[in-house]
Structure 1
Amino acid sequence: MNINQEGFGRRLDVIQKTLKQYNLKSTKVTPIAYVEHCPFYFNNYIYKIDLESPAVPATFPKNQSCTTSPPENGVSTIVLRMSNPLAEGLNNANRVENDVASQYLARQSIESAGLPLVVPAVYAWAPCRYPEVPGEAGFGWTISEFKPGSDLDAEFALLELSDAIDAVHQLAKIFTAIQKAKIPETVTRYGALTLDENGVIIGGQPPLLKGGPFGTYAELWVAKLQTQLADAENSSLLKGWEEGGARGRIDKYIAAGGVEKALQAVDNRRVLVHGDLTLNNVLYDKATKRITSVLDFDWSAVTHPCDEFLTGLWDIGGGIHERNEIFQPMLLSGDFSARPEGLSDEEVRKWEVAKAWDAAITQAGAIRPSDVTGVDGIQMLIDLEDLLCPFELSNEAMLKRFSDDVKLKKRQETEAKILKWLDTHGITP
Structure 2
Amino acid sequence: MATVSHNHANYQGRLAFIQQLLVDQLGLSAKDLERAKVIPIQYDPDCPFKYNNFVYRIELPFTVASDVNNVDGDKGRRLKQPGCVPIPSDMQIFILRLSNPDAEGMNAATRIENEVAIINLSSSALGHLEPNVVPRVFGWESAKSSQGWILQELMPGVPVDETFGSMDLGKKRRILAQMVTLLKALQRFPLPESLTAWGGAAFDATNNLLFDPDSGRITALLDYDFASILHPINAKLNGFPTPLPETTEGGIQWDLAKVWEDELEKQDVKRPSIMQGIDKVADVDAVLRAVLPWHITNLDFLQMQPDGATEYFRKRGEEKLIMLLDYMGF
Q: So what's the TM-score if we normalise by structure 2?
A: 0.87
Matches within 5 A, 1:265-414: 279-306=206-233, 309=234, 320=235, 331-333=236-238, 335-336=239-240, 338-344=242-248, 350-414=253-317
Q: Deviations 1:100-150 (Å, cap 9, x if unpaired)?
A: 1111111111113x33211111111111133xxxxxxx1211100001222
Q: CA deviation at 1:28?
A: 0.7
- For residue 153 of structure 1, the aligned residue among 144, 157, 161 is 161
Contact 2:5 2:48 in 1 (8 A): yes
Corresponding residue of 1:37: 46
Matches of 2:249 and 2:10 in 1, distance apart? 46
Q: SS of the residue aligned with 2:263?
A: helix
Q: Deviations 1:330-373 (Å, cap 9, x if unpaired)?
A: x323x34723234349979x333222222222333321112321
Amino acid in the other structure paired with 2:111: R
Corresponding residue of 1:210: none
* 191 and 56 in structure 1: CA distance in 2 versus 1, 3 angstrom threshold: farther
Q: Deviations 1:48-97 (Å, cap 9, x if unpaired)?
A: 0001112366353266322223445x221100101122111211221111
Corresponding residue of 2:174: 166
Q: CA deviation at 1:414?
A: 1.4
- For residue 86 of structure 1, the aligned residue among 96, 99, 102 is 102
Corresponding residue of 1:5: 8
Q: SS of the residue aligned with 2:127?
A: helix
Corresponding residue of 2:22: 19
* 337 and 141 in structure 1: CA distance in 2 versus 1, 3 angstrom threshold: same
Q: Deviations 1:136-178 (Å, cap 9, x if unpaired)?
A: xx12111000012221111101112211111111111112222
* Relative contact order, higher structure (CA 8 A, sep 6+): 1
RMSD: 2.2
Corresponding residue of 2:124: 108
More helix by share: 1
Amino acid in the other structure paired with 2:53: N
Contact 2:40 2:57 in 1 (8 A): yes
Q: Deviations 1:7-58 (Å, cap 9, x if unpaired)?
A: 1111111111111122245521111121231123211111000011123663
Aligned residue pairs total 313
Amino acid in the other structure paired with 1:414: G
Amino acid in the other structure paired with 2:82: S
Matches of 2:126 and 2:65 in 1, distance apart? 24
Amino acid in the other structure paired with 1:42: Y
Corresponding residue of 1:176: 184
Matches of 2:323 and 2:251 in 1, distance apart? 30
Matches of 2:230 and 2:246 in 1, distance apart? 37
Matches of 1:104 and 1:57 in 2, distance apart? 23
Contact 2:246 2:254 in 1 (8 A): no
Q: SS of the residue aligned with 1:195?
A: coil
| Gap regions ≥5 residues in structure 2 | 68-75
* 20 and 124 in structure 1: CA distance in 2 versus 1, 3 angstrom threshold: same
Contact 2:295 2:313 in 1 (8 A): no
Matches of 1:57 and 1:355 in 2, distance apart? 51
Corresponding residue of 2:138: 123
- For residue 68 of structure 1, the aligned residue among 69, 72, 85 is 85
Corresponding residue of 1:51: 60
Q: CA deviation at 1:98?
A: 0.9
Q: Deviations 1:303-350 (Å, cap 9, x if unpaired)?
A: 2111xx2xxxxxxxxxx1xxxxxxxxxx323x34723234349979x3
Calculate percent identity across the aligned residue pairs.
Answer: 30
Contact 1:82 1:140 in 2 (8 A): yes
- 1:99 to 2:115 alignment: yes
Matches of 1:176 and 1:115 in 2, distance apart? 15
Contact 1:56 1:69 in 2 (8 A): no
Contact 2:180 2:264 in 1 (8 A): yes
Contact 1:57 1:69 in 2 (8 A): no
